[in-house]
Amino acid sequence: MTTPVKLLDFITILPVIFLAAWACLLLLVDLWVKHKRVTAYLAALGLAIGLGLLWYQAAWIGNAGFNHMVVLDGFSVFVNALLLLSGLLGIALAYGYLRRMGIERGEFYPLVLFSLSGMMLMAQAADLIVVFLSLEFLSIPLYVLTAFAYPKAASEEAGLKYFLLGAFAGGFVVYGIALVYGAAATTALDGIIAAVAEGRANLSLLVSGAALILVGLGFKVAIVPFHMWTPDAYQGAPSAVTAFMSSAAKLAGFAALVRIFALAFSSLSDDLIPILWGLSALTMLVGNLLAIPQTNIKRMLAYSSIAHAGYILMAFTAFGNPGVAEVSIAAVLFYLAAYTVTNYGAWGVVILLERAGDLGLEIGGYAGLGRKYPALAACMTIFMLSLIGLPPTLGLVGKFYLFRAVIAADLIPLAVIGVLTSLISAWYYLRVVVNMYMRTGDPEISPEPWALTITGLMAILTVLVSLLPGWLFFLASQARLNLF
Amino acid sequence: MVPIEYYLILSVVLFAMGAAGVLARRNALIIFMSIELMLNAANLAFVTFARQYGQLDGQVFVFFVIAAAAAEVAVGLALIVMIFRSKHSIDVDQMSSLRE
C-alpha cells in the first residue's frame, strides 16, 4: 500500500521542514553574528516566512503526506498559525529580557524554532509514531530552554525536574502506543479506526493504551495529578521561556490530544468520559485552590495555567458525542487562542517588572503600579479579568463557548464545578489588581520597547476581539479535523 | 516456541519496575535509568506484537524509540553534569531552591 515519496508529501509539512532547516542555518550563522539581536531578528524573519508558507500551503488543505503519517487539514493550519504567532510573541518578549538578565546567548532562538517545528509537526501527526517523535522533538529543546539561565541554581533545577518528569511522561506515551499497536496491529489513526470498526481490535488493550497516552499527554499539558513539575519548571525557567512554554507547549499538547482522541479513540468515549470528567474536575479544583496561597507571581501563573488546562479538558470531555464534538473542538481552539493572547500579555507585564536576581516577582511588589504606571496597570487588570473570565475580555467569550459545549453534552455538574472554580480564581487574580491600585509602593519597570509593545497589543486584542469574537469562532469552527 | 504472553508479561513487569523506580528513587541518574527501562519495556512490547502480526512496522518503531531516547540521554546527562558541578550532588530531594 505504500506509495513513493512525492513533492506533495513535502508540501504537506512545508513550514515544519522550513523552520527546522532555518534553525539549523541560524545555529551556523550565529557563530559569526556579534550582536545576538541580529539572531533574534533572523529567527523572527524565519517565523514570518513560516507564516507565509502556511498561507501558501492552505491551498492543499485536505491532503495527507508520507503514507498518511501526517495530514494537512483546517485544524492543523489553525493550530500552526497560532503556534507561529506565539513563537513571534515569545521571541519579542525574550529580546530585551535575555540581555537584561545577562543570558543573551545565540542558541536561544534556534532552540525556540526547533521546539516550534516539533509542535507544528505534532498538530499534523496522523500516526502515533509521529506523535511520539514530535513530542520528543518539541520537549528536548524546551528542557534546554528551561535550564537556560545556568549557572543559576533555580533554572538548572527546574530544567532537571522538567526533564525527568517529561521523559517519564514520554515513557507512558511510548508504552501506550505499543499497547495500541498490539490492539490494532497499526499505529496509523485511520488504521485504528478501521480496526475498531471491523471488530479486529482488542478493546481492553486499546483502552489501556489510550489511557497511558492520556497520562503522557496529560503531563505535557499539566493536568492534575500529573502537574507536579509545572510550578517548579515555570518558576525556575527564565520568564520569557515560561511565557513561550505555557502557551505553545499547551497548544501543541492539546492539538495532539484532540486529534488522537476525537478521531482514533472516539469509539472509546464511553469508557473514557468518567476518567476525563474526574481529571478535568480535579485539575480545575487543585489548580485554582493551590494558586490562592502563592505569593510569587510566576508560581501563581503556573497554577493558573494548570487550572486553565482543566477548563479546556472540561469542554473536551464529551469528545465522542457526535452532536457535540464539533462544537467542543471549536470551543477548545477558540479558548487556546484566547489563552495564548492573554497569557503572553500577563507574562509581558511580569517580564517588565522582573529585575535581575529574581527581584520584582512577588505579588506584593506590584503595589503602587496603578499610580506610577497607570497604562501598564490597566493592561494587567485586563489580563487578570480575562483569566477570571469577566467582561469585557476574551476570557469571558472563551469560557462562554467552553461552558456551552459542556452544557450541550449534558455534563451539568462539571459545568457547575467550572463556574465555582472560576469564582474561586477571582480571589487570587483580583489580589494582583488590589495590590496595584489600593496599596502604595514604588515598583520599577524596565522600559523595553518590544515587551511594552506586546503587552499593549495583547491588552488591546483581549478587549477588541472579545467585542467581535464571531470571526475567530468562525475560523475555529472551520478548522475541521480530517482523516483521509 | 515461547508463547507471546510471556514476552508481554515480562514487558509489563519491566515497565512497572521502571515506573516504580522513578517514583521511589531519589538519585537523578537512577531515575533516568528507570525511565530508560520503561522505554525498553515498550520496545519489547513493540517487537512482540510485530512478531505476533508478522509485520516489520513494530520493529522499525523500536529504532525510532532508541534514537529519541539517545537524544534524551544527551540532554539529560548534560543537565545532570551541570547540576553536579554546582551542587556536588544529584539527589533530587536536595533540589529545594524552588520550594516556597
In 3D space, the residue among A212, A139, A134, A126 whose CA is nearest the CA of residue A177 turns out to be: A212
Give residue B7's pLDDT. 95
Residue A364: partners with Cβ closer than 8 Å, 6 or more residues away? A295, A435, A439, A441
CA atoms within 13 A on the CB side of A43: 35
Q: pLDDT at position B89, please?
A: 87
Closest Cα in chain B, distance from residue A455 (Å):
27
Chain A hits for B68, CB-CB cut-off 8 Å, are 132-133, 136, 170
Contacts of A125 in chain B (CB under 8 A): none
Whether A406 is in a domain gets the answer yes
Which pLDDT value is given to residue A357?
85
Phi-psi region of A70 (alpha: psi -120 to 50; beta: other; left: phi over 0): beta
Average pLDDT, chain A: 93
The predicted structure's pLDDT at residue A323: 81
Q: Tell me how many residue pairs between chain A and chain B have CB atoms under 8 A apart.
A: 122
* The pLDDT of residue A1: 57
Does residue A367 belong to any structural domain of this protein? yes
Q: Residue A483's pLDDT is what?
A: 65
| Any domain includes A132 | yes
Determine the angle formed by the axes of helices A128-146 and A108-124, rounding to 10 degrees: 160
Nearest-angstrom CA–CA distance, B41 and A142: 25
Q: What is the pLDDT of residues B32-52, one digit of tens each?
A: 999 999 999 999 999 999 999
CB nearest A136 (choices: B42, B48, B68): B68
Domain that includes residue A135, residue range:
7-478
The predicted structure's pLDDT at residue A418: 95
Burial (CB < 10 A; 0-12, 13-18, 19+), residue B99, is exposed
Query: Does A448 reside within a domain?
Result: yes
pLDDT of residue B99: 62
Would residue A92 count as lying in a domain?
Answer: yes
What secondary structure does DSSP assign to A156-205, as a single string?
Answer: HHHHHHHHHHHHHHHHHHHHHHHHHHHHHS--BHHHHHHHHHTT-S-HHH
Inter-chain touch A294–B19, beta carbons under 8 Å: no
In a domain, A472, yes or no: yes
Give the pLDDT of residue A318: 82
Tally of structural domains, chain A: 1
Among chain A residues, the shortest Cα distance to B37 is held by A171
Task: Examine the pLDDT at B95 and tell me if it is beyond 70.
Answer: yes
In this complex, which of B32, B71, B87 lies closest to A136 when CB atoms are compared? B71
Q: What is the pLDDT of residue B48?
A: 95
Which positions in chain B touch A133 (Cβ < 8 Å)?
64, 68
Domains annotated on chain B, with CATH = 4-91 (1.10.287.3510)
Positions in chain A whose pLDDT score sits under 70: 1-2, 483-484
Q: For residues A63 and A69, give the distance between their C-alpha atoms in angstroms, rounded to a whole number.
A: 11
Which of B9, B56, B61 would you mutate first to test chain A, the one with the most A CBs within 10 A? Answer: B61
- Which residue in B has a C-alpha nearest to residue A133's C-alpha? B68
- CA nearest A161 in B: which residue? B92
Residue A417 lies in a domain: yes
Q: A483 lies in a domain? A: no
Contacts for A270 with CB less than 8 Å, ≥ 6 apart: A320
Q: Which chain B residues touch A167 with a CB distance below 8 Å? A: 32, 35, 72, 76
- Asked if the model's pLDDT at residue B97 lies above 80, the reply is no
Tell me the C-alpha distance between A292 and A432, whole Å.
11
Chain A hits for B53, CB-CB cut-off 8 Å, are 185
CB contact (8 A) between residue A132 and residue B64: yes
Which residue out of B49, B57, B93 would a mutagenesis test of the A interface target, given it has the greatest number of A Cβ atoms within 10 Å? B49
pLDDT, tens digit, 9 for 90 and up, residues A210-237 = 999 999 999 999 999 999 999 999 999 9
CB A92, CB A446: distance < 8 Å: no
